[in-house]
Amino acid sequence: MVAQILDGKNLAKKIQSRLQADIEKQVAIKNRRPGLAVLMVGDNPASAVYVRNKEKACQKIGMESFGKHFPDTVSQKELENVIEELNCDRNVDGILVQLPLPEKFDAVGLLHKIAPEKDADGLHPENLGKLVRGEKGLRSCTPAGVMEILADNNIDLEGKKAVVVGRSILVGKPLALMLLEKNATVTIAHSRTENLAAVTREADILIAAVGKPEMITADMVKPSAVVIDVGINRLETEDGKGYLVGDVAYEQVKEVASYITPVPGGVGPMTVAMLLQNTYDSYLNRVEKN
């Protein structure tokens, strides 16, 4: 048995096409276009690529992009002032601070400055609190993307054993809560979990989000499990060429699993799609109130 591929790239295109159609309907009834502001600090090459991809995605679906790029000499206070201005800008519906930031900055402090209703990344404590309480709110993009992939492929979660390997506030913790919301029985495992392989082999749904290249091997996977690979790790060949791998040893594990996400082309594109969805949802809420 070879696993069926869960194609996040194709699903992301579908979501973006739907958003594009929805935005044009809003423009047709004389509403403004939704707007997303992405703040980037410094010259991290990976961050620059991610920001470009987000700006291109905005352009493609007809969403306004208010990108702001700052040198790493900018101060914490200056960034906070920019966020306050964007909070008050009626043309901006989503605000995102591109992570990681240079070490001197208090990233959490900046995230807290974003108005919860414009928190496109779903990381403000108020939105995380709403997730804990099962209330409606903006959801963290990568976990929300994982949930969309599972739903689009009609993968039933109710009563299933789900193991999330990774406990970050970006992915592991919010994803565990989203799985619980769908009535899965959830275990969070991490670097200090004893006998990790025994824990992962119990999983009907196994999600790897640890940032360690190909650490989930075939012997750690229950036959016919659904395997979701959130990891994106850049490695180099001997001649210096870069390539991407996930946290799952894909070639091995695809022979054991029933479904698997590839890297690239799995969860990654869905993160951007859910960022756009969050921004549109925020926009719709604000347009309807006005």
The vertex-115 CA angle with 44 and 37, nearest 5°, equals 40
Known catalytic membership, residue 54 = yes
232 is in an annotated binding site: yes
- What is the spatial distance between Cα 155 and Cα 121, in angstroms, rounded to a whole number? 25
169 is in an annotated binding site: no
The vertex-30 CA angle with 284 and 58, nearest 5°, equals 55
For the chain, first and last CA: distance in Å? 54
167 is in an annotated binding site: yes
Please identify which of the residues 54, 68, 118, 160 carries the catalytic annotation.
Answer: 54
Sign of the torsion formed by the C-alpha atoms of 162, 163, 166 and 169:
positive
33 is in an annotated binding site: no
Q: Is 281 exposed, middle or buried (0-12, 13-18, 19+ CB in 10 A)?
A: buried
Please identify which of the residues 68, 93, 118, 121 carries the catalytic annotation.
Answer: 121
**HEC string for 116-139:** HHHECCCCCHHHHHHHHHCCCCCC
Please identify which of the residues 16, 68, 93, 98 carries the catalytic annotation.
Answer: 98
- What is the spatial distance between Cα 199 and Cα 145, in angstroms, rounded to a whole number? 24
Known catalytic membership, residue 219 = no
Known catalytic membership, residue 98 = yes
Tokens for 269, please give them. 């594109």
Report the binding-site residues for NADP(+).
166-168, 232
- Which residues are annotated as part of the binding site? 166-168, 232
Catalytic residue IDs: 54, 98, 121
